[in-house]
C-alpha cells in the first residue's frame, strides 16, 4: 500500500506542472483528490490493513494528499502569474526595416545644375507645351512649310492617318522662345529646360525623347560678344570648376531661326584639350547650337528688329549629363534600373 501511495504521488506530481488550463487542473484534482478519486480509493483499503501498519499508512496517505494539494495550488498560482506577467518592454533601440531613400535622377541633376548656372547669370526659367502647333514649332522660327530645314526637326504628329491636326510633339525647345516673346516685351532673359521628341532610331546616343535647355536673351544692343561672354561663363561653370580653364570655340553653322549661327565646342574637360577617347582625340567637344535671333523671328512676335537684338542657344541636357557623369549610353537614363540610378 505504501508503494501504491508513492506511485500515485509520483504520477500526480509529474502531471500537475504540465496542466495548461483551468479545466486540466480541475480534472487532475478530481482524478486524484475527488470523492471517487484515486487517493480515496487507496484510503478505503486502510481499514483492512493489520493494526500495526495502519498508523504509518495513514500518515503517508495524509502527506500524499497535502503534497498533491500544494502542487495543484502552486500550479494554479503559477498559471495566474503567467497570465498577468506583462510582455517584455518595447525596445525602441532595435533597428527598424528602413527604406533606402531614392536618388535624384542624373538628368534632373544636370538640369538643375544648368538652371542654377544660368540663374546666376540672370536667366529665369520658362516653360511651354509639349504638344505644339506647327506655327510655333516651325513657321514662327522661320521654317516655312516645305522648307528643307524642317527635315531635321520633323517629328511625331498628332492625329490619325490622313488627318492633319496641325499638332505635334515639339521637336526642340525653340518654340518656347516664340511663346515667351508673344506675351512679354524685352528685356528677356530665359532658359527653358524641357523634354523634346524626335523620331530618332534608338542607339547609344539617340532616344526619341530627350531633354534640351533653350536660352534666349533679347535687349537693345545685345551683341554676339554678349553671347560669347554668357556661354563662355556658363561652360566654365558647368565643366571647369575652379581649377581648369574651359575654352569655347564658335564654328559657323546654320539654323533657320538665327543669323549668324554657330556651333559651339568646349575644350575637352577630360584631357584639357590634349586628345582622349571622350573627345575622339580632337581636344574639342561639340556642346550646343547658338546664334543671333533672326529678324524674321522678331517680326513674327511683333518685336521691332531695328530696335532689338538678341541671342539664343540650345543645349542637350542628356549629353551634358553623359559627359559630366561619364555615361556612355543614353538608354541607361530611361530604363529605370535602380542599380544604375543609385550610383549618382
Ligand atoms: N533648336 C536647335 C535644335 O534642336 C538647337 C538650337 C540651335 C537652339 C541654335 C537655338 C539656337 O536657340 O540658336 O537642334
Mutate which of 136, 138, 172 for ligand 1? The one with the most ligand atoms within 8 Å of its CB, which is 172
Q: How far is the CA of 336 from the centre of ligand 1 (A)?
A: 28
Ligand 1 closest atom vs CA 196:
4
In three-state form (DSSP H/G/I as H, E/B as E, the rest C), the secondary structure along 271-290 is CCCCCCCCCCCCCEEEEEEE
What cell numbers appear for 114 in the block? Answer: 544648368
**pLDDT for 85:** 67
- Note the pTM of the prediction, 2 decimals: 0.72
Overall residue count recorded for the chain in this entry? 344
Q: How far is the CA of 197 from the centre of ligand 1 (A)?
A: 14
Helix (H, G, I), strand (E, B) or coil at 159: coil
Does residue 264 line the site of ligand 1, with CB under 6 A?
Answer: no
CA distance 278 to 294: 34
Does residue 262 line the site of ligand 1, with CB under 6 A?
Answer: no
Q: How far is the CA of 247 from the centre of ligand 1 (A)?
A: 21
Mutate which of 210, 212, 289 for ligand 1? The one with the most ligand atoms within 8 Å of its CB, which is 289
Question: Where are the chain's structural domains?
Answer: 2-83, 106-341
**pLDDT for 83:** 63
The dihedrals phi and psi of 95, each to the nearest 5 degrees, come to -65, 140
State which residues of the chain have pLDDT below 50. Answer: none
Ligand 1 closest atom vs CA 290:
13
Q: How far is the CA of 96 from the centre of ligand 1 (A)?
A: 51
pLDDT tens track for 83-102: 666 778 888 898 888 888 88
Please, how many CA atoms are within 13 Å of residue 211, restricted to the half-sphere of its CB?
A: 25
Contact 155, 169 (CB under 8 A): yes
Mutate which of 314, 315, 317 for ligand 1? The one with the most ligand atoms within 8 Å of its CB, which is 314
Q: How far is the CA of 289 from the centre of ligand 1 (A)?
A: 5
In which order are the strands placed within the sheet that holds 284-293?
124-125, 188-197, 209-219, 309-316, 284-293, 258-267, 248-255
Look at ligand 1, atom 4, and give the residue with the nearest C-alpha: 172
Does residue 319 line the site of ligand 1, with CB under 6 A?
Answer: no
CA distances from 90 to 82, 94, 188, 192, 230 (A): 18, 9, 62, 54, 61
Does residue 313 line the site of ligand 1, with CB under 6 A?
Answer: yes
User: What residues does 194 pair with on adjacent strands?
Assistant: 212
CATH code of the domain occupying 106-341:
3.30.930.10
Mutate which of 313, 317, 318, 319 for ligand 1? The one with the most ligand atoms within 8 Å of its CB, which is 313
pLDDT tens track for 199-252: 989 999 899 999 999 999 999 999 999 999 999 999 999 998 778 899 999 999
**pLDDT for 246:** 94
**pLDDT for 258:** 98
Ligand 1 closest atom vs CA 315:
5
**pLDDT for 57:** 83
**pLDDT for 84:** 66
Amino acid at each position: 500500500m505504501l508503494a501504491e501511495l508513492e506511485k500515485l504521488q509520483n504520477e500526480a506530481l509529474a502531471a500537475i506542472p504540465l496542466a495548461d488550463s483551468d479545466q486540466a487542473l480541475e480534472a487532475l484534482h478530481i482524478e486524484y483528490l475527488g470523492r471517487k478519486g484515486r487517493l480515496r480509493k487507496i484510503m478505503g483499503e486502510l481499514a483492512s490493513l493489520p493494526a500495526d501498519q495502519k498508523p504509518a499508512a495513514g500518515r503517508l496517505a495524509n502527506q500524499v494528499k497535502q503534497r498533491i494539494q500544494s502542487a495543484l495550488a502552486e500550479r494554479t498560482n503559477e498559471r495566474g502569474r503567467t497570465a498577468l506577467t506583462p510582455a517584455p518592454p518595447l525596445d525602441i533601440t532595435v533597428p527598424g526595416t528602413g527604406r533606402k531613400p531614392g536618388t535624384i535622377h542624373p538628368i534632373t541633376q544636370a538640369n538643375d545644375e544648368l538652371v542654377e548656372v544660368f540663374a546666376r547669370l540672370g536667366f529665369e526659367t520658362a516653360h511651354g507645351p509639349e504638344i505644339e502647333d506647327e506655327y510655333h514649332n516651325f513657321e514662327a522660327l522661320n521654317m516655312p512649310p516645305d522648307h528643307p530645314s524642317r527635315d531635321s526637326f520633323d517629328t511625331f504628329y498628332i492625329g490619325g492617318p490622313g488627318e492633319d491636326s496641325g499638332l505635334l510633339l515639339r521637336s526642340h525647345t525653340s518654340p518656347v522662345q516664340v511663346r515667351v516673346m508673344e506675351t512679354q516685351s524685352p528685356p528677356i532673359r530665359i532658359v527653358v529646360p524641357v523634354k523634346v521628341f524626335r523620331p530618332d532610331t534608338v542607339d547609344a546616343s539617340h532616344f526619341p525623347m530627350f531633354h534640351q535647355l533653350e536660352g534666349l536673351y533679347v535687349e537693345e544692343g545685345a551683341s554676339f560678344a554678349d553671347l560669347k561672354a554668357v556661354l563662355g561663363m556658363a561652360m566654365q561653370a558647368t565643366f571647369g570648376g575652379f581649377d581648369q580653364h574651359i575654352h569655347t570655340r564658335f564654328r559657323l553653322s546654320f539654323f533657320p531661326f538665327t543669323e549668324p549661327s554657330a556651333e559651339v565646342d568646349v575644350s575637352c574637360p577630360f584631357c584639357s584639350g590634349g586628345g582622349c577617347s571622350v573627345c575622339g582625340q580632337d581636344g574639342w567637344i561639340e556642346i550646343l547650337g547658338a546664334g543671333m535671333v533672326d529678324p524674321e523671328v522678331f517680326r513674327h512676335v511683333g518685336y521691332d528688329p531695328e530696335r532689338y537684338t538678341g541671342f539664343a542657344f540650345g543645349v542637350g541636357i542628356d549629353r551634358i549629363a553623359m559627359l559630366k557623369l561619364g555615361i556612355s549610353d543614353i538608354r541607361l537614363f530611361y530604363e529605370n534600373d535602380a542599380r544604375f540610378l543609385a550610383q549618382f
